Amino acid sequence: MSDFLAGAGLLIAAGAGATAILLPAGRPRAVAMAAAMVLFPVLILGDQWHTAQIVDLRHDEWRIVALLAVATVVIGALAYAFRCRPVLLPLAIVFALPFRIPLHAGGDTANLLVPLYLVIAAGVATTAIRVWPRSPAGPVAAGAARWLPRVLAVVVVLYAVQALYSADFSKGLQNVCFFLVPFTVAFALLQDVKWDGRLLRWVLIVVGIEASAFVLVGSVEFVTRNLFWNDQIIRSNEFHTYFRVNSVFWDPNIYGRYLALVTVVATAAMLWERTRDRFWLLCALILVLWIGLVPTFSQSSFIALLAGLAMLAAIRWSRRWTLAAVVVGLVGGVLVVLLVGGSGKVTPDRLNVDLSGRGSLISGGLDLFAERPLQGYGSGSFQAAYREHRQNKDAPVTISHTEPVTVAAEQGLIGLVAYIALIVVALWTLGRGLWTAPPAPPAGITARAAVLAAFVALLVHTLAYAGFFEDPITWVLLAVGTSLATAPAVRNPT
């Protein structure tokens, strides 16, 4: 694929995804979603055509046929199920969020969100079948919720545009195609869902059972001292006094992030639960999740969990007292950092060691931002630009592990303004009216509190580990929060 076709295709795919979240339900949006889902694998194949993985696949025709046949059957079966039982679509999206499938080709392995892609494709097919005979007018977001899709669409298109001059165009294209494009389609699909009390309860059941299963896998790893995958973590455990687990996740920090977010959601349900049996059941779930979170040794996940719980406390009880507790906690944390080791002072080298080398990544990212403050080095360029402008050109780095620094280095002030605008609008949309809710709110208000707290926890985690736009949970939380913000209060099902 020529550079011109790759760039043009990238802009069209991003534009189609952005259009899908702006248009109301109907034929035009169905066409936009279908175009986005068709273009993203085509662009990936065109960009990676001469890599070892694709060359290996190209010389194995039967494997390609088998993969396409399996994908077609799965998409067809899911589309039929979604057509018959529409409630299964949002549940399937939520269920598929954590799973990455390792695909082996050309002596290398790529961990891709294949289950989620198949579910989204089936959702697009279902939507097209439903609206094609006639084009019903869908609801249009009003008020505060109208701005979140707009800002999100700007972020997606801007990222694609800035990939055109990226120091690593291929990486920028992959980020758009593997993450931004399919996730915007998922956002559009979830906007149509009616989030009543029964569906919200089923979502909690799905994530609760799923997370408990992950904890079981992680517990087996911890007891047996044997991980299923990720050679880097396996080698790291051999040199540490502690043993980190990753369950079915590649990275213990991502596993910890998932458990922290589910814990926040379960805690929100527990805080407003009025029946004793469900209250204790939720307490048991939280205990199981905590047991699973501890052996991840993910400091960023612990901090994210505390941030989400603080937001719930502010909503449920008092913003003033919660803020005071947070300030006291921050001061105590700073004192611990200053006094640990008995030196009484903090040096850059010591901080860098305590942060597992992330201090160098952050300072390097800030240096890159200072060199190109307006436009940055282009979307997806952090690794290439960091290696080019640092002495250690073989540094195993892909991101700065701090989302704002990554955005600043890659997209400059232009992208940073869009990123901050998205966060501000998202917090405004998700939190609007929550503090004026009655003490015992209906299920919709409880769900909004859970979504806002989980989003805050995710946001805090990305400040220490990045992965904001690349995590589909971000998009699902924004979609659910937007829908709940525009819907009337949902009552508990009988």
Residues 223 and 128 in one domain: no
Domain region containing 480: 197-346+432-486
Q: Which of 481, 475, 466, 385 is nearest to 116 (CA)?
A: 475
Give residue 115's identity as a one-letter amino acid code: P
Contact residues for 85 (Cβ-Cβ < 8 A; gap 6+): none
CB 476 within 8 A of CB 318: no
Torsion sign over Cα 349, 351, 355, 360: negative
Residues 207 and 118 in one domain: no
Domain-terminating residue out of 100, 119, 140: 140
Is 418 part of any domain? no
Beta bridge partners of 102: 111
List Cα–Cα distances, 481 to 148, 289, 429, 430, 470, in angstroms. 10, 24, 8, 5, 18
Both structure tokens of 34 = 């279908």
Residues 120 and 232 in one domain: no
Is 363 part of any domain? no
Residue 111: phi and psi, rounded to 5, are -100, 105
Cβ atoms < 10 Å from Cβ of 461: 29
Beta bridge partners of 105: 108
Residues 342 and 450 in one domain: yes
pLDDT for 50: 80
Is 413 part of any domain? no
Is 29 part of any domain? yes
CB 468 within 8 A of CB 459: yes
Is 392 part of any domain? no
Written as one string, the DSSP assignment of 352-380 is: HHHTTTHHHHHHHHHHHHHHSTTT-S-TT
Residues 88 and 207 in one domain: no
* Terminal Cα-to-Cα distance of the chain (whole angstroms): 57
pLDDT digits (tens, 9 = 90+) for 112-147: 899 999 999 999 999 988 877 665 555 555 555 688
Cβ atoms < 10 Å from Cβ of 38: 14
Residues 102 and 243 in one domain: no
Residues 129 and 270 in one domain: no
Spell out the alpha helix ranges (H) of 375-441. Answer: 382-389, 403-431
Is 366 part of any domain? no
Residue 105: strand, helix, or coil:
strand
Residues 242 and 323 in one domain: yes
Q: Which of 203, 139, 83, 267 is nearest to 477 (CA)?
A: 203
pLDDT digits (tens, 9 = 90+) for 308-359: 999 999 988 888 888 888 888 888 777 776 666 545 555 555 554 555 556 6
Domain-terminating residue out of 140, 155, 171: 140
Residues 218 and 336 in one domain: yes
Residues 115 and 219 in one domain: no
Domain-terminating residue out of 123, 140, 157: 140
Size of the chain, expressed as the number of residues it contains: 494
Overall number of domains in the chain: 2
Is 453 part of any domain? yes
Is 91 part of any domain? yes
Could you tell me the pTM of the whole model? 0.89
Task: Give the pairing type, strands 108-112 and 101-105.
Answer: antiparallel
In tens digits, the chain (494 residues) has pLDDT values of 778 888 999 999 999 999 999 988 888 999 999 999 999 889 988 888 887 777 777 777 788 888 889 999 999 999 999 999 999 999 999 999 999 887 654 445 568 899 999 999 999 999 988 877 665 555 555 555 688 999 999 999 999 999 999 988 999 999 999 999 999 999 999 988 888 889 999 999 999 999 999 999 999 999 998 888 877 888 888 877 788 999 988 889 999 999 999 999 999 999 988 889 999 999 999 999 999 999 998 889 999 999 999 999 998 888 888 888 888 888 877 777 666 654 555 555 555 455 555 666 787 888 889 999 999 999 998 888 888 876 555 555 556 678 899 999 999 999 999 999 999 999 999 988 777 655 545 556 889 999 999 999 999 999 888 789 999 999 999 999 998 887 654 444 43
